[in-house]
Structure 1
Amino acid sequence: MSAIIIRIGLRSAASLLAVSALAFLVVAFMPSDPVMIAIQAWNLPVDGATVNALRVEWGLDRPLPVRYAIWLSDFVTGDWGRSFRTGSPVLEEFLARLPLSLGIGLGGLILAALAAVPLGFAAAIRPDGLADRLSRLLAVTVQAVPAFWIGLVLIWVLGVKLRLISPFSGGPDVLILTASLVALHSTGMLARVYRRDLVGQAGQPYFRTALAKGLTRRQALWRHGHRSAVYALLSAIRSEAGWAIGATAALEVLFGLPGISQFLVQSIGARDYYVLLAYIMVIATWMLAMNGGVELALRRLDPRSAR
């Protein structure tokens, strides 16, 4: 297992290096000059001395490969640069905001997985039953409706009409609601994946043998199909991790939550490229961490995949 972890770590490091190079090139060639944006935002005099001083301070006067090498070296040692917009260290800004974003995104995925197992299991016990139809309806409907729109409806219903929540307070009720909205999108799809694998296991000879020995369909599905269905569920969660990023970003903006996505949106207009680069690297790390974690879990469930 240690060899597998090392291999996943090396592969992730190589992927992050490639992402960092591509992100740096894209951000560096974005239109508009961050120095001029900062001068206008800070009401500084537009003269050559001011422009040159800022370009030297931010390292924008150096060749692109040198700038990338310096940025990458600083980034891996914890110096993520300073925000052009706020003047604060980017790492401090992200450390203050990251727990909220992770709580919404990761919490939503965990809630979705926990809800998908009983819903998918009930759907597999009685195909075309109430639970089966509910999971299908949930998967189709929520996939077609953006989380942003559902959030607006809930703000109007729960916040304006019923006054059960304070939509823009950032309180625990809002955090629970946003994580639930992330979970809502994934629950139906994960439940269908779990249900599909269980139904597939029900057609295997060992399942019929279990029924012949006196087990009920419920008992046979749980004892002999659950492990394989969880394997399929984990594989599906890996693909849902990317969607959770977009949903979390949209909901942070909608509810005014001070997460890293909200900070990014505020920084885009100022072409605050240290913030843009940090955001890209954090998202890439999130995706690679999810892929690595799921891969390790899958290998634990199926030792044959360790080859």
Structure 2
Amino acid sequence: MPADPVMIAIRAWNLAATDETVAALRTQWGLDLPLWERYLVWLKGFVSGDWGRSFRTGEPVLTEFLRRLPVSLALGLSGLTLAILLAIPFGFFAALKPKGVIDRASRFLSIFVQTMPGFWLALILLWFFGVYFKILRPFSGSYSAYILPIIIISLHSLGVLTRVYRRDLLHTREQAYFTTALAKGLSIRQACWHHGHRSALYAMLSAVRSEAGWVIGSTATMEILFNLPGISQFLVQSISARDHMVLIAYVMVVALWMMVLNAIILTILSRLDPRAA
């Protein structure tokens, strides 16, 4: 976006675009420094909590983000957690009876959610549950307004994680030790759970790391579509205003989200398989 932050701020704050004003703002924000020095100053401020000030609202960016962070975290984490919790039973029963009803349903879900745009699916479900049946009140401002967005966020990850869990469980059924477990009197269900669940869970959680990026994008879509005051909605509003401070902070927040989630998953994986530590 070719735009000068100083000129954007001057227009947003209705200041006189004099040489003195431009020079004062450039000095105040360190824009008169070399690029490498500017980056170090910005990085030091970011680490210490000085994320700059929004041109559009006039408030500190950190304050704006902290105000909206609970909404984005509630949507993203709830959707991802719901997908993980549902993927285990769906994947388990799909592996018990390949080409059965649950297996076919999980395959259809995986293909459907990856080929259909998230906003289109959200609009259909919004009309279905909010207008036609009037079961949910999406724009009421209450907790019920979060139910549908969380479900939609979880659907894509649910389809992918279910297939990953099922695939690894089927691989376990082909091993010699699984045949030995059946010969000892265990049922297929018992053998799958005792001898295949741990490795299938490991594979599924490994796939969660790649799903974290999708969760960010789908959370942004749901915040805009359902008018939820999260960080992503604030970002979209800031893009049109060329609010550079907000854009830079958002990139860093996304990077931190990916790093923290990756660290948590790696910790869990090391507990499941100490050899991966």
TM-score (norm 2): 0.95
In 2, the alpha carbon distance for the partners of 1:159 and 1:41 equals 38
Contact in 1 for aligned 2:138/2:148 (Cα 8 Å) = no
Residue 205 of structure 2 is aligned with which of 230, 234, 252? 234
Give the Å deviation of 1:219.
Answer: 0.7
User: Sequence identity of aligned pairs in percent?
Assistant: 61
In 2, the alpha carbon distance for the partners of 1:62 and 1:304 equals 49
Aligned to 2:214: 243
Segments of structure 2 that go 5 or more residues without pairing to the other structure are: none
Do residues 204 (structure 1) and 175 (structure 2) align?
A: yes
In 2, the alpha carbon distance for the partners of 1:49 and 1:174 equals 49
Do residues 182 (structure 1) and 153 (structure 2) align?
A: yes
Contact in 2 for aligned 1:139/1:189 (Cα 8 Å) = yes
Give the Å deviation of 1:199.
Answer: 0.7
Residue 260 of structure 2 is aligned with which of 276, 289, 302? 289
In 2, the alpha carbon distance for the partners of 1:195 and 1:77 equals 45
Give the Å deviation of 1:168.
Answer: 2.7
Give the Å deviation of 1:68.
Answer: 1.1
In 2, the alpha carbon distance for the partners of 1:177 and 1:56 equals 48
In 2, the alpha carbon distance for the partners of 1:223 and 1:127 equals 19
Aligned to 1:69: 40
Contact in 2 for aligned 1:38/1:270 (Cα 8 Å) = no
Larger deviation, residues 287-296 vs 164-173 = 164-173
Aligned to 1:221: 192
In 2, the alpha carbon distance for the partners of 1:212 and 1:270 equals 68
String of CA shifts for 1:191-227, please: whole Å, max 9, x gaps. 1110111111011111111111111100110011000
TM-score (norm 1): 0.86
Aligned to 1:85: 56
Alignment of 1:98-247 (within 5 A): 98-247=69-218
In 1, the alpha carbon distance for the partners of 2:6 and 2:125 equals 41
In 1, the alpha carbon distance for the partners of 2:196 and 2:16 equals 70
Q: What amino acid sits opposite 1:124 in the alignment? A: A
Residue 12 of structure 2 is aligned with which of 22, 41, 60? 41
Contact in 2 for aligned 1:34/1:270 (Cα 8 Å) = no
In 2, the alpha carbon distance for the partners of 1:89 and 1:38 equals 14
In 2, the alpha carbon distance for the partners of 1:163 and 1:115 equals 25
Do residues 253 (structure 1) and 263 (structure 2) align?
A: no
In 2, the alpha carbon distance for the partners of 1:129 and 1:164 equals 31
Q: SS at 2:112's partner residue? A: helix
In 1, the alpha carbon distance for the partners of 2:270 and 2:69 equals 29
Number of equivalences: 277
Give the Å deviation of 1:164.
Answer: 2.7
Segments of structure 1 that go 5 or more residues without pairing to the other structure are: 1-29
